[in-house]
Amino acid sequence: MVQPAVADQVFDALSNSTRRKVLEQLSAGPATVSELAAPFDMKLPSFVQHLSVLEESRLVKSKKRGRVRTYEIVPERFKVAENWLTARREEWEARLDRFDQYVKQLKEKE
């Protein structure tokens, strides 16, 4: 079971397209704030807010060395979202299977 607060944070972080693009970049490997910000037409302080949201959700983590902050993906955290989606799929698939069984039985009775 997923604690609700955690799923809230994770799905909230994923709900913004800028943040998802950052996660796409980071999936290719660690990167600094400037590197991550470069593709976006956005002022740095605005962009950095998105990085904060991502870090608070723990989908990413960062470390500062000198004046450079480097971000990287935290793979485990993605499971919160993956697990939630998988659980839903399993529920409705089980239900649809039961429905198929039911229809099959009806046909056999004819």
Partner DNA sequence: ATATTACTTAGGTATTGACCTAAGTATCGT
Partner DNA sequence: ACGATACTTAGGTCAATACCTAAGTAATAT
Out of 27, 49, 83, 86, name the contact with DNA by CB under 7 A. 49
Residue 13 in contact with residue 49, Cβ under 8 Å?
no
Residue 15 is classified by DSSP as: T
Q: Which does 8 bind (CB under 5 to 8 A by kind): DNA, its own copies, none?
A: its own copies
Q: Which residues pair with 68 in a beta bridge?
A: 65
Out of 14, 31, 33, 48, name the contact with its own copies by CB under 8 A. 14
Per rule CB under 8 A, is residue 56 in the interface with its own copies? Answer: no
Out of 4, 29, 66, 75, name the contact with DNA by CB under 7 A. 66
Q: Left if phi > 0, otherwise alpha if psi is -120 to 50, otherwise beta: which for 89?
A: alpha
Q: Which is nearer to DNA, 45 or 110 (CB)?
A: 45
**Residues 6 or more apart from 29 whose CB is under 8 A from it?**
72
Residues that bind its own copies in the complex, under the rule CB under 8 A: 4, 7-8, 11-12, 14-17, 20, 23-24, 27-29, 73, 75, 78, 81-82, 84-85, 88-89, 91-92, 95
